[in-house]
């Protein structure tokens, strides 16, 4: 079943899980990759994690609009991981993934996510939220077994896990929206599309 929008929809992201979430919700859309230099934006940013996530989401949507144009809506989204006041990027290699997971072990970290809808170069809707995830105090033997089983897929996630897969074994508790953990605040976004995209209410 396809849920019809009155406007064309573009996702400014190469994230497979974000695309899968939108497809699962019955939305028809195009994918465009922004090419935004996220590292430079993060280095220059002086505000909160929420402000950074919103800035990155907006930058992705605006870059796609500037390069490709759009006669509809562009979705930009981003997610920041914060643990004990430190912001983390995706790990560059398996050794860094292991080191990060040792830092997260037994701690609560936060996934701070944001999404925007851009139309005619202007942001018409935005949302940000914070989800708390508490990892178990797992053994290093478990961690090594997890990394071996999960493989390089952990490098595609800022937290070094896919919660919908083997990553579930890392956690003791989760406080917040499941879709936002996966990388897209789907329910608020659908509400935004009802308001700005003509999705049936």
d(CA 167, CA 114) in angstroms, rounded, equals: 22
Average pLDDT over residues 172-201: 93
With H, G, I as helix, E, B as strand and everything else as coil, classify residue 138.
Answer: coil
Q: What is the pLDDT of residue 39?
A: 83
pLDDT-based confidence at 201, cuts 50/70/90? confident
Identify the band that residue 56 occupies on the pLDDT scale cut at 50, 70 and 90: very high
Upper half-sphere CA count for residue 156 (Cβ side, 13 Å): 14
**pLDDT of amino acid 52:** 95
Model pLDDT, residue 40: 87
This prediction has a pTM of 0.91
Residue 70 clears pLDDT 80, i.e. is over it? no
91 beta partners: none
- Catalytic choice (28, 37, 71, 78): 78
pLDDT at 142: 98
- Note if 177 is an active site residue: no
Name the average pLDDT for the chain: 94
Domains in the chain with CATH codes = 9-196 (3.90.950.10)
């Amino acid at each position: 079943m396809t849920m019809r929008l009155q406007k064309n929809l573009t996702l400014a992201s190469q994230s497979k899980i974000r695309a899968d979430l939108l497809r699962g919700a019955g939305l028809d859309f195009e994918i465009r990759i922004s090419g935004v230099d996220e590292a430079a934006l993060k280095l220059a940013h002086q505000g909160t994690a929420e402000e950074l996530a919103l800035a990155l989401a907006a930058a992705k949507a605006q870059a796609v609009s500037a390069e490709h144009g759009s006669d509809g809506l562009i979705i930009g989204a981003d997610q920041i991981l914060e643990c004990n006041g430190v912001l983390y990027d995706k790990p560059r290699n398996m050794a860094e993934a292991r080191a990060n997971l040792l830092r997260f072990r037994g701690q609560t970290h936060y996934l701070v996510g944001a999404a925007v809808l851009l139309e005619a170069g202007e942001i018409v809707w935005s949302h940000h939220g914070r989800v708390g995830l508490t990892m178990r105090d797992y053994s290093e033997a478990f961690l090594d077994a997890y990394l071996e089983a999960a493989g390089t897929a952990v490098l595609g996630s800022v937290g070094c896990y896919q919660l919908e897969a083997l990553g579930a074994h890392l956690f003791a508790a989760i406080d917040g929206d499941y879709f936002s953990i996966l990388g897209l605040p789907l329910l608020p976004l659908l509400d935004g599309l009802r308001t700005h995209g003509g999705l049936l209410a």
